[in-house]
Amino acid sequence: MRGYLTAFTAMILAVLMPLWLLLIRGSQISGMKARAEMAMDTGMNSTLAEYHRQMLSYYDLFFLDTSYCTDTASSEKTAEHLKSFVEHNLEPVDDLISLLGQSFFGREEKHMSASNVSVGKIRYATDGRGSVLRSQILSYEWDLLGLSGLRESSGEKALKQWEESGAADLLDNQYAGTWSAAQQQLEPYHYGPQPEEEGKERPIALQNPADYLFQLSGKALIGLILGDTSKISAEEIDQTVLYTGRFSNTEKPLQKGNMLIPLWDPSLTDRLFLMEYFLHHFTAYQMDSELLSKHETRLNCQLEYLLCGNASDLANLEETVGKLLLIRQAINTAYLFTDGEKQQKLQTFATALATAASAVTLTPVPAEPIRISLTIAWGLMESIQDLKILCKGGKIALLKGNGTWRTDLGGIADPGGNLREDPGDEKGLTYRQYLCLLLLMQNEEQQMANCMDLMEMDIRMVKGNSAFRLDACADRIVADVTIGDNDTAFTLNRECGYEE
């Protein structure tokens, strides 16, 4: 009987021992794979944890600088960092479980290592002309504000007033053709002093006070609005080394990723979120002290750079004021043409000028084109006063009325003397809110390009970031790593990014 038991036990063990060894080996392989996956996941997270500190501190955005504060950027550098993190997580740990495992198996655990590490796919902030950067900005604003918060923002309030006022319908400048026709009719009556006998000069036939205003342009016009501009920097930045300069450089093209990029949604909600981000992260002319940037900036008129993209604060401010002046002039002129009381004054003044000119030329001078010329000039003078108030921190209502009209017809010949200090309207829009309207009207791709210029120029002012560029900043990577020992290896693929 004992022989049968011995034979039976031997036969059972012959079957069970391979199964036990197989199960042990399978457990060992499963443990190795689980360890490799944990090391890979931790390594990917550690790689993205090296996000650029200034991008987060200045702009509340997460991006990985693949140049690692050097002059050159590449996915190979990111792969090297990933490999170091993975191998660090594969190093043996002297804990109780490891010691028990060594005593049970009678040998040390095999050391696993990482090899064939590569970042096969990557996505940069500048991909899609900045759509990757834009996508993260919108995600930040959605998380910060939400729709309820957006409704209380300064941009939303400005847009609501704009839509309710109907001012947008006045921007087609319907009186431009009328003004041109009036100027052509008055052209025969305009002539300068002509030399006559005995050194005398022939007098000017038509002294239209509106002519002085129409001749103002550039610095003279800005001078009336801003006054002394000596404190506004005219120093020009080198735009060729910024995003907009590199975008058109065929010799040193931008680095481009090879992953899908977010769709560019032109919806009004996204435009408002984007604009709200700009208002809270970039400075503007005469901005309140509590809204000033917490870090050093290369330009002070940054919102103006977003709009115009010129190389200096002064040039950007002048062009922005010019754009705002066109808006105010269109609205003010439209009001003048519909105000019966003011048109009566204009008609009386125009008739007097025409009569005086007719007495000199001995030919009838029409009063109607003079009235049109004076109307548009008065609208321009009122617009200059509006901009003067805005640039001093006051408010200006979108649409004019008798209670909000500030200039007199008699001041057209001397607009500088007719302008005065004025706190503005109680329920009007501020300079920043008018900038909101300009930002909403701007081409969004150009806006994002100028935004990337501003980010690059400011971060380059930080020590160790002189070569910083956004086309080296990634927000998502796909990596492949082979992990194992001499007997067993696993090839793992992971995709990881800041927006999950």
Question: In this structure, are residues 459 and 55 in contact, taking their beta carbons and an 8 Å threshold?
Answer: yes
Q: Which of 240-244, 262-266, 274-278, 315-319 has the lowest mean pLDDT?
A: 262-266
How much is the mean pLDDT over the chain? 83
pLDDT at 110: 62
187-197 confidence digits (pLDDT tens): 666 655 545 55
Question: In this structure, are residues 256 and 470 in contact, taking their beta carbons and an 8 Å threshold?
Answer: no
Q: Which of 92-96, 218-222, 425-429 has the lowest mean pLDDT?
A: 92-96
Structure tokens at 11: 């036969």
- Higher model confidence: residue 421 or residue 51? 51
- Higher model confidence: residue 61 or residue 202? 61
At 196 the three-state DSSP class reads coil
Q: Which of 66-80, 312-326, 412-426, 461-475 has the lowest mean pLDDT?
A: 412-426
334-378 confidence digits (pLDDT tens): 888 888 999 999 899 888 888 877 776 667 878 888 888 888 888
Is residue 106 over pLDDT 50? Answer: no
pTM summary value: 0.85
Give residue limits of the domains in the chain.
36-128+469-497, 145-459
Question: How remote is the C-alpha of 125 from its chain's centroid?
Answer: 13
DSSP letter (8 states) at residue 396: B
- Using pLDDT thresholds of 50, 70 and 90, give the confidence band for residue 1: low
Structure tokens at 211: 């002519």
Is residue 206 over pLDDT 70? Answer: no
DSSP letter (8 states) at residue 112: P
pLDDT at 122: 95
DSSP letter (8 states) at residue 290: G
Is residue 109 over pLDDT 60? Answer: no
Report the b/e string of 398-423 with b at 16+ CB within 10 A. Answer: bbbeeebbbbebebbeebeebbeeee
pLDDT at 494: 93
* 425 contacts: CB under 8 Å, gap ≥ 6: 394, 395, 396, 397, 404
Give the mean pLDDT of 452-479.
95
62-99 confidence digits (pLDDT tens): 999 999 988 888 999 999 999 999 998 888 665 555 55
Nearest alpha-carbon partner for 252 in 240, 261, 266, 264: 240
pLDDT at 463: 92
Give the mean pLDDT of 110-136.
91
Q: Which of 220-234, 240-254, 392-406 has the lowest mean pLDDT?
A: 220-234
Is residue 277 over pLDDT 90? Answer: yes
- Using pLDDT thresholds of 50, 70 and 90, give the confidence band for residue 179: low
What residues does 123 pair with on adjacent strands? 476
Q: How far is CA 402 from CA 73, 336, 345, 396, in A?
A: 62, 10, 14, 14
pLDDT at 82: 94
pLDDT at 291: 52
